[in-house]
């Protein structure tokens, strides 16, 4: 009996010890690994490891161990990797022609999301995760944040087996990658609707490869969708894509964020902190930037240039034309100098992609590598997207996209904008060195985006207009204070100006913003950095070359796309003067050389676009409001309306250079060789765009706002009166109106009728229906009607008389409709 009792006790102790050992097991590195808790298993539910991962398995070790067994792919997930933050990025690896309208390509990111793998009973769940709402886990409110931000499950997997020492779980991920999971499919709902996608065809879809690396897993899938209206080869009724799925383990300890300040330009990530001491959900915004830390902190602190622990490396697409590689590399490494301002040397490096012999595992879609993608596409564009950690703003990787036909855009703009003063631009065969310099600057601009910098549209306003006619100044300072502005060419310089730099380059703001965002500060929290960062801003606050201007501004004359110089009226005067010279010589530089009219037609259309941009810069002055972002401790208001004098000068410029007939744009030597009809309409469209712009409800609203702050500003009534008298000038001086003016005057009546019945818009900053807009418009139309009734009986031609009678009828109709 005693023997039996002792045996039972021993068996009990052995069972307890065994259970304890199963719960915790020391790894070889001395760390404790989480293991699978013992569970009661149903027979046949969870198999033995050897039944699932058979001797025929092809195994790849890495973040997860990946096994390929026959046609199945298995992930062996360590329990230590469950609940860890991972970034999942979906990219297109191969794409059919035209999909997405020309702005999608091999390398395009279609989705970016944070995920984690979670165990629930006998399943492993792949769940999307958000850091939009957060709270310190030590605070009670963190529980509320968790239950009110429940995470969606992207996919659920049955547990197939545990590994032999119960430290990992095995799941079959085949179904995740060979079925149509919208979050990772590569085809948005918009594209599915556009191309009438019906379903994924499983017989023509398959997993191409799954590769596991120490911190990431890369999966390539070939998908074929049945689609009624594909972008190409429509008879096939199919869309085939190759998709790359990247999943990368994020750092256990996120990079220390840097708090965003709107006075300096950065892309951002934001979170609402419910655990803040503020009496609200405290919105915290951090800049997006790469993690640059000095190898030698002590030398860095002494002011020495120090290499970063991990530099930013860009690889060139293997498909990059050989003659352009030099310029692309220069565009990348042009940022080395601004990084030196921030204390780092060799912080950003350009390299050729390794050959298959050098690295058979290398893939442009691998999230470990940042690429300059060269896309064989007729699209004319370049972009600089990046992937970042939503917890901290740390940029993980980026792909710069250059579309091949963008070279043609730069050739055309070079000819049109600088041809008057620059003999080298008067050709369709721009010199390779000059094209290379243009491309270098575009790559530098796009790399700037990938470093975290948005467009700085105030950088072109930093320099006085006439300084851009000075050779010494432009060679030293370029044409704008930052490469991140849309200041591509010097269209200010006039014929006879010497030693001019016509192509943009890096500027002082680029050094300033890089130092502000990337200088390593030995602070123990983001908040501790703020006094130093604010001090740097205040030191530069009164110098326009360090000003940041938002691209989203539609009202600030300082922050305009494609603008140059600090005076839009003077700059556009120079620009139009140069365009007149170019228009006069356009046939000689194009069709006379090629013996066809293709380039003439293309460049004439783009010339109208360039002219329209110059006009638009002046339109912004009407109702213009300067935005100078500052804190309450800085002197002066944030928003200041443009002076009445400058606005009236701008109105006169528009009457003389846009609304009066621009006969130089209606050159029969061009038009009769490129089109059979529509000559007056070409000019009317440009005029209508800017007339409608002047007569926008928002612009009139800003003029009304300005009247409430200062009676000396240009009033809405005075602006409308000046515009009416200019547009209908012939009626006031008793002169007949030509066809171009009659077209413009009808456009005026159409727009005024629209304003008379204007409704509130979600984009508008004031209530249109209860404002003075309709009463001002009504009064202007009545005043005009009275003038036309007199003018139609004057000494004018028959067509003008009929036109005035028709205009009176249209006014009556608009007033009655209201």
Average of per-residue pLDDT values in the chain: 90
Query: Cβ(411)–Cβ(606) under 8 Å?
Result: no
Domain count, the chain: 2
**Would you state the structure tokens that stand for residue 379, as one six-digit string?**
């699209």
Higher pLDDT, 679 or 263: 263
- Nearest CA to 746 out of 704, 800, 709 is that of 800
**Would you state the structure tokens that stand for residue 732, as one six-digit string?**
């006031």
How far apart (Å, rounded) are the C-alpha atoms in residues 462 and 459? Answer: 5
Higher pLDDT, 676 or 9: 676
Q: Are both 201 and 120 inside the same structural domain?
A: yes
Sequence-ordered list of residues with C-beta below 8 angstroms from that of 190, at least 6 positions apart, any chain: none
Cα radius of gyration rounded to whole Å, the chain: 33
Q: 803: number of CA atoms within 13 Å, CB side?
A: 23
- CA dihedral sign, ordered 323, 324, 325, 327: positive
* Helix axis angle, 716-727 to 644-654, nearest 10°: 20
Element (H, E) at 348: strand 348-352
The strands making up 282-287's β-sheet, listed across from edge to edge, are 133-134, 268-273, 282-287
**Would you state the structure tokens that stand for residue 528, as one six-digit string?**
């501790």
How far apart (Å, rounded) are the C-alpha atoms in residues 187 and 189? Answer: 7
What tens digit of pLDDT does each residue of 45-90 get? 799 999 999 999 999 999 999 999 999 999 999 999 999 999 999 9
How far the first Cα of the chain sits from its last, in Å, is: 108
Q: Mean per-residue pLDDT for 192-218?
A: 93
Q: Are both 153 and 12 inside the same structural domain?
A: no
Q: Please state, in angstroms and as integers, the Cα–Cα distance from residue 91 to each residue in 184, 341, 564, following that order.
A: 9, 34, 37
Say if residue 581's pLDDT is above 90: yes
pLDDT number for residue 3? 43
Q: Please state, in angstroms and as integers, the Cα–Cα distance from residue 674 to each residue in 228, 585, 718, 727, following that order.
A: 37, 16, 42, 30
What tens digit of pLDDT does each residue of 360-413 get? 888 888 888 999 988 777 777 777 788 999 999 999 999 888 877 788 888 999
- Nearest CA to 455 out of 535, 563, 548 is that of 548
Query: Cβ(629)–Cβ(548) under 8 Å?
Result: yes
Does residue 25 lie within any of the structural domains?
A: yes
Q: Are both 81 and 158 inside the same structural domain?
A: yes
Q: Are both 227 and 237 inside the same structural domain?
A: yes
How far apart (Å, rounded) are the C-alpha atoms in residues 768 and 772? Answer: 8
What tens digit of pLDDT does each residue of 772-813 get? 999 999 999 999 999 999 999 998 999 999 999 999 999 999
Quick check: helix, strand or coil at residue 405? coil
- Nearest CA to 169 out of 121, 220, 114, 221 is that of 121
Q: Are both 85 and 96 inside the same structural domain?
A: yes
Q: What is the percent of the chain with per-residue pLDDT over 90, rounded to a whole number?
A: 74
How far apart (Å, rounded) are the C-alpha atoms in residues 184 and 196? Answer: 19
> Following CA atoms 405, 406, 411, 415 in sequence, which dihedral angle do they give, to the nearest 10 degrees?
120
Say if residue 28's pLDDT is above 80: no
Q: Which of 249, 264, 288 is the last residue of a domain?
A: 249
Domain interval for residue 17: 1-33
* Range with lowest mean pLDDT among 18-22, 336-340, 344-348, 685-689: 18-22
Does residue 173 lie within any of the structural domains?
A: yes
Does residue 4 lie within any of the structural domains?
A: yes
**Would you state the structure tokens that stand for residue 590, as one six-digit string?**
């194009």
- Nearest CA to 241 out of 289, 266, 208 is that of 208
Say if residue 6's pLDDT is above 80: no
HEC-encoded secondary structure of 227-246: ECCCCCCHHHCEEEEEEEEE
Q: Are both 82 and 14 inside the same structural domain?
A: no
What tens digit of pLDDT does each residue of 654-707 get? 999 999 999 999 988 899 999 888 888 889 999 999 999 999 999 999 999 998
Q: Are both 153 and 25 inside the same structural domain?
A: no
Under the banding of pLDDT at 50, 70 and 90, the label for residue 133 is confident
Say if residue 31's pLDDT is above 50: no
Q: Mean per-residue pLDDT for 313-317?
A: 94
What tens digit of pLDDT does each residue of 603-644 get? 999 999 999 999 999 999 999 999 999 999 899 999 999 999
pLDDT number for residue 763? 62
Query: Cβ(572)–Cβ(657) under 8 Å?
Result: yes
Under the banding of pLDDT at 50, 70 and 90, the label for residue 761 is low
pLDDT number for residue 281? 80
Does residue 723 lie within any of the structural domains?
A: no
Q: Are both 25 and 129 inside the same structural domain?
A: no
Eight-class DSSP state of 247: E
- CA dihedral sign, ordered 442, 265, 335, 545: positive
Does residue 67 lie within any of the structural domains?
A: yes
Does residue 456 lie within any of the structural domains?
A: no
What tens digit of pLDDT does each residue of 443-482 get? 999 999 999 999 999 999 999 999 999 999 999 999 999 9
Angle, CA of 77, 81 and 87, to the nearest 5°? 100
- Nearest CA to 491 out of 435, 590, 584, 422 is that of 422
Does residue 610 lie within any of the structural domains?
A: no
* Range with lowest mean pLDDT among 143-157, 591-605, 637-651, 738-752: 143-157
Query: Cβ(249)–Cβ(215) under 8 Å?
Result: yes
pLDDT number for residue 39? 47
Say if residue 167's pLDDT is above 50: yes
Q: Are both 145 and 181 inside the same structural domain?
A: yes
Say if residue 9's pLDDT is above 90: no
Q: Are both 47 and 176 inside the same structural domain?
A: yes
Q: Are both 62 and 9 inside the same structural domain?
A: no
Query: For 426, phi and psi rounded to 5 degrees?
Result: -85, 55
Q: Are both 28 and 161 inside the same structural domain?
A: no
Does residue 729 lie within any of the structural domains?
A: no
């Amino acid at each position: 009996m005693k023997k039996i009792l002792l045996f039972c006790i021993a068996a009990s102790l052995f069972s307890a010890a065994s259970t304890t050992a199963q719960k915790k097991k020391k790894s070889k590195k001395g760390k404790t690994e989480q293991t699978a808790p013992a569970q009661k298993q149903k027979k046949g539910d969870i198999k033995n490891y050897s039944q699932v991962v058979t001797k025929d398995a092809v195994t790849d070790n890495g973040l997860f161990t990946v096994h390929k067994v026959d046609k199945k792919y298995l992930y062996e997930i360590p329990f230590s990797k469950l609940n860890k933050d991972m970034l999942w990025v979906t990219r297109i690896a191969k794409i059919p022609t035209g999909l997405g309208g020309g702005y999608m390509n091999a390398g395009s990111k279609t989705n970016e999301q944070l995920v984690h793998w979670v165990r629930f009973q006998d399943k492993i769940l792949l769940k999307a995760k958000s850091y939009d709402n957060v709270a310190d886990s030590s605070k009670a409110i963190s529980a509320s944040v968790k239950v009110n931000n429940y995470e969606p499950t992207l996919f659920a997997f049955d547990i197939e087996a545990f590994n032999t020492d119960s430290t990992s779980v095995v799941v079959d991920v085949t179904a995740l990658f060979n079925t149509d999971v919208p979050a990772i499919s590569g085809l948005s709902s918009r594209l599915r609707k556009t191309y009438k996608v019906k379903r994924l065809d499983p017989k023509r879809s398959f997993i191409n490869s799954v590769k596991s690396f120490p911190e990431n897993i890369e999966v390539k899938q070939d998908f074929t969708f049945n689609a009624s209206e594909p972008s190409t080869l429509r008879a096939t009724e199919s869309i085939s894509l190759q998709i790359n799925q990247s999943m990368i383990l994020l750092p256990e300890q996120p990079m220390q964020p840097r708090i965003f300040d709107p006075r300096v330009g950065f892309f951002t990530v934001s979170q609402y902190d419910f655990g803040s001491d503020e009496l609200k959900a405290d919105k915290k915004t951090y800049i997006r930037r790469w993690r640059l830390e000095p190898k030698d902190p002590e030398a860095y602190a002494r002011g020495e240039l120090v290499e970063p622990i991990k530099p930013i490396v860009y690889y060139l697409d293997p498909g990059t034309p050989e003659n352009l590689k030099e310029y692309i590399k220069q565009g990348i490494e042009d940022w080395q100098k601004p990084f030196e301002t921030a204390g780092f040397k060799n912080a950003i490096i350009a390299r050729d992609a390794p050959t298959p012999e050098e690295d058979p595992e290398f893939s442009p879609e691998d999230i470990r590598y940042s690429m300059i993608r060269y896309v064989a596409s007729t699209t004319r564009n370049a972009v600089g997207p990046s992937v970042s950690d939503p917890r901290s703003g740390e940029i993980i990787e980026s792909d710069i996209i250059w579309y091949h036909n963008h070279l043609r855009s730069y050739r055309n703009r070079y000819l049109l904008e600088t041809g008057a003063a620059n003999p080298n631009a008067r050709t369709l065969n721009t010199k390779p060195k000059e094209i290379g310099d243009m491309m270098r600057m575009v790559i530098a601009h796009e790399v700037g985006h990938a470093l975290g910098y948005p467009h700085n549209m105030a950088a072109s306003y930093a320099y006085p207009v006439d300084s851009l006619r000075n050779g010494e100044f432009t060679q030293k300072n370029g044409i704008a204070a930052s490469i991140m502005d849309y200041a591509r060419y010097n269209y200010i310089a006039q014929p006879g100006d010497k030693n001019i730099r016509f192509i943009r380059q890096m500027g002082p703001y680029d050094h300033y913003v890089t130092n502000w965002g990337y200088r390593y500060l030995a602070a123990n929290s983001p908040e501790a950095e703020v006094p130093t960062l604010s001090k740097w801003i205040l030191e530069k606050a009164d110098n326009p070359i360090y000003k940041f201007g938002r691209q989203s501004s539609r009202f600030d004359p300082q922050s305009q796309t494609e603008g140059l110089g600090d005076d839009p009226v003077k700059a556009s005067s120079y620009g139009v003067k140069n365009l007149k010279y170019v228009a006069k010589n356009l046939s000689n530089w194009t069709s006379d050389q090629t013996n066809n009219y293709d380039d003439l037609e293309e460049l004439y259309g783009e010339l109208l676009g360039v002219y329209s941009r110059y006009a638009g810069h002046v339109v912004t002055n009407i109702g213009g409001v300067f935005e100078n972002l500052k804190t309450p401790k800085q002197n002066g208001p944030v928003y200041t309306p443009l002076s009445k004098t400058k606005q009236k000068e701008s109105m006169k410029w528009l009457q003389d250079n846009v609304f009066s007939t621009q006969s130089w744009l209606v050159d029969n030597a061009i038009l009769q060789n490129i089109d059979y009809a529509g000559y007056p309409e070409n000019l009317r469209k440009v005029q209508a765009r800017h007339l409608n712009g002047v007569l926008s409800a928002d612009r009139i609203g800003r003029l009304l706002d300005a009247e409430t702050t200062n009676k000396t500003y240009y009033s809405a009534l005075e602006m409308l009166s000046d515009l009416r008298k200019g547009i209908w000038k012939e009626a006031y001086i008793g002169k007949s109106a030509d066809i171009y003016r009659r077209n413009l005057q009808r456009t005026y009546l159409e727009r005024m009728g629209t304003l008379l019945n204007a409704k509130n818009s979600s984009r508008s900053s004031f209530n249109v229906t209860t404002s003075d807009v309709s009463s001002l418009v009504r009064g202007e139309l009545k005043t005009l009607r009275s003038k036309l009734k007199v003018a139609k009986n004057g000494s004018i031609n028959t067509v003008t008389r009929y036109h005035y009678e028709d205009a009176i009828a249209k006014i009556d109709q608009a007033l009655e409709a209201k």
